[in-house]
Amino acid sequence: MRLLETDLQVLTRELSLYLEIQVPVGLFGSGVGLSLVLGFSAAFACYYLSSIAKKPQLVTSSESFSRFIQEHCPVVTETYYPTVWCWEGRVQTLLRPFITSRPPVQYRNELIKTTDGGQISLDWFDNNDSICFPDASTRPTILLLPGLTGTSKESYILHMIQQSEMLGYRCVVFNNRGTAGETLLTPRTYCAANTEDLEAVIHHIHNMHASAPFMAAGVSMGGMLLLNYLGQTGRETPLMAAAIFSAGWNVFESAESLEKPLNWLLFNYYLTTCLQSSISRHRQMLEKLFDMNLVMKAKTIREFDKQFTSGMFGYRTIDDYYVDASPCRKLKSIGIPVLCLNSLDDVFSPGHAIPIETAKQNPNVALVLTSCGGHIGFLEGMWPRKCTYMDRVFNQFVQAVFEHGNKICSM
Marked catalytic residue, from 123, 324, 346, 391: 346
59 neighbors 363 (Cβ within 8 angstroms): no
Give buried/exposed letters for 122-142 (b at 16+ CB in 10 A, else e).
bbbbebeebeebeebeebbbb
CB contact at 8 A, 87 and 45: no
Closest CA relative to residue 142, chosen from 245, 7, 291: 245
Residue among 121, 123, 164, 375 flagged as catalytic: 375
Q: Which of 220, 343, 349, 371 is catalytic?
A: 220
Q: Is 320 a catalytic residue?
A: no
Active site annotation includes 282: no
Q: What residues pair up with 143 in beta bridges, in sequence order?
A: 172, 216
Residue 246 designated active-site: no
**H helices present in 73-195, as ranges:** 89-99, 155-167
Three-class DSSP category at 216: strand
Instruction: HSE, CB side, 13 Å, CA atoms: give it for residue 199.
Output: 15
Q: How far is CA 169 from CA 107, 140, 176, 213, 351, in A?
A: 14, 5, 23, 10, 33
CA distance 370 to 211: 36
For 205-348, list the strands marked E by DSSP: 214-219, 242-245, 338-343
What is the distance between the alpha carbons of residues 181 and 148, in angstroms, rounded to a whole number? 15
Provide the pairing of β-strand 108-113 with 338-343: unpaired
Find the DSSP H helices in 287-336.
Answer: 292-295, 301-304, 310-312, 318-325
Catalytic residues: 220, 346, 375
